[in-house]
């Protein structure tokens, strides 16, 4: 399948989007296309009447609806043939979308809880709303926490906490703010994705990276959590400017911290505190 979003930046008309998607459909031959309506990211909304016209194109087979407008989603489901696939584009509204006639979810949370999200969708499609609601209630905090900062930062942070990936970003994305990361870690712990935080004695062995771009080239310094300058990621080294510096971590081992420091992009000066 090809997933293609609204054209961004230009704010095209409905006719412009209609022609745009039809041109893509013609260009790719028989490959099936799922449209992605995500006006919050593209500043262009695909209205139900336009979707209905596009649903007549043989290889445009569905839509990922992430407008956040349940009335519009209901209208879209009513406007297209029953064979046209309408997916929720937002984990948190999967159940109402399926209740209205949607066929499932193209999910963010499935990166963290694939089996649970599949079970939620299957239960709803089978009219087992008790099971579906139980899963939804349990994981709703995670669905919401995945967007407390620019996506995909939170979901990548959780996957790193779970040990599934290295937490590496490319500009213009940066690691999460420390306070938001702490909130996210709390949610991930409460839903059972990661273990509870280590005791203070164990925490003393953690490592942190201090990133500073206040003047001159971007610099990072590796610290032990117990270092006086670090204070487990709460320290304020001399010249600290909250707008031009941040802590990354904690990292469980020195190896993990060094690997992360080495992978950070845009850094010209890398060093380690004497505490290391």
Q: How many CB atoms lie within 10 A of CB 114?
A: 11
Q: For residue range 120-136, list pLDDT tens digits in order.
A: 999 999 999 999 999 99
Q: Which residues, in sequence order, are CB contacts of 251 under 8 Å at separation 6+?
A: 206, 207, 208, 209, 257, 260
- What does the block give as tokens for 7? 């054209």
Answer whether residue 238 shows pLDDT above 80: no
CB-CB contact of 158 with 180 (8 Å): no
CB-CB contact of 249 with 233 (8 Å): yes
Q: Rounded to whole angstroms, what are the CA distances from 226 to 104, 196, 208, 229, 270?
A: 47, 20, 10, 9, 20
Could you tell me the pLDDT band of residue 242, with boundaries at 50, 70 and 90? Answer: confident
Q: Which residues, in sequence order, are CB contacts of 109 under 8 Å at separation 6+?
A: 91, 116, 117, 139, 142, 143, 146, 155
Percentage, residues of the chain above pLDDT 90? 62
Query: What are the DSSP calls for 39-61, one per residue?
Result: HHHHS----HHHHHHHTTSTTEE
Catalytic residue among 1, 8, 22, 64: 64
Is 36 one of the catalytic residues? Answer: yes
- What does the block give as tokens for 83? 């064979």
Could you tell me the pLDDT band of residue 2, with boundaries at 50, 70 and 90? Answer: very high
pLDDT of residue 205: 57
Q: How buried is residue 150: exposed, middle or buried, by Cβ count under 10 Å (0-12/13-18/19+)?
A: exposed
Q: Find the Cα–Cα–Cα–Cα dihedral 144, 148, 152, 155, rounded to 10°.
A: -60
Catalytic residue among 36, 139, 210, 251: 36
Coil, helix or strand at residue 272: strand
Q: For residue range 24-79, list pLDDT tens digits in order.
A: 999 999 999 999 999 999 999 999 999 999 999 999 999 999 999 999 999 999 99
Average pLDDT over residues 79-92: 97
Q: Is the dihedral of CA 158, 159, 162, 165 positive or negative?
A: negative
Q: For residue range 177-210, list pLDDT tens digits in order.
A: 888 999 999 999 999 998 765 444 444 458 889 8
- What does the block give as tokens for 189? 């712990």
CB-CB contact of 210 with 275 (8 Å): no
């Amino acid at each position: 399948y090809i997933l293609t979003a609204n054209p961004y930046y230009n704010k095209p008309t409905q006719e412009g989007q209609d022609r745009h998607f039809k041109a893509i459909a013609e260009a790719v031959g028989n490959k099936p296309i799922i449209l992605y309506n995500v006006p919050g990211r593209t500043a262009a909304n695909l209205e139900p009447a336009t979707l209905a016209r596009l649903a007549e194109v043989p290889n445009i087979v569905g839509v990922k609806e992430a407008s956040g407008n349940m009335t519009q989603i209901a209208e879209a489901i009513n406007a297209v043939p029953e064979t046209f696939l309408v997916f929720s584009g937002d984990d948190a509204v999967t159940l109402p979308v399926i209740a209205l006639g949607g066929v499932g979810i193209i999910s963010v949370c499935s990166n963290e809880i694939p089996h649970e999200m599949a079970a939620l969708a299957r239960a709803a499609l089978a009219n087992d709303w008790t099971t579906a609601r139980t899963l939804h209630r349990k994981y709703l905090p995670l669905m919401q926490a995945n967007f407390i900062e620019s996506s995909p930062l939170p979901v990548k942070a959780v996957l790193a906490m779970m040990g599934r990936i290295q937490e590496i970003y490319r500009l213009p994305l940066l690691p999460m703010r420390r306070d938001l990361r702490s909130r996210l870690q709390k949610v991930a712990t409460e839903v059972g994705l990661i273990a509870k935080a280590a005791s203070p004695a164990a925490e003393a062995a953690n490592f942190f990276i201090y990133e500073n771009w206040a003047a001159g080239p971007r610099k990072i310094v590796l610290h032990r959590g117990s270092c006086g300058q670090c204070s487990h990621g709460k320290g304020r080294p001399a010249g600290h400017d909250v707008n031009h510096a941040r802590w990354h971590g904690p990292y469980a081992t020195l190896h993990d911290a060094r690997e992360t420091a080495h992978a950070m992009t845009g850094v010209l000066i890398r060093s380690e505190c004497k505490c290391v």
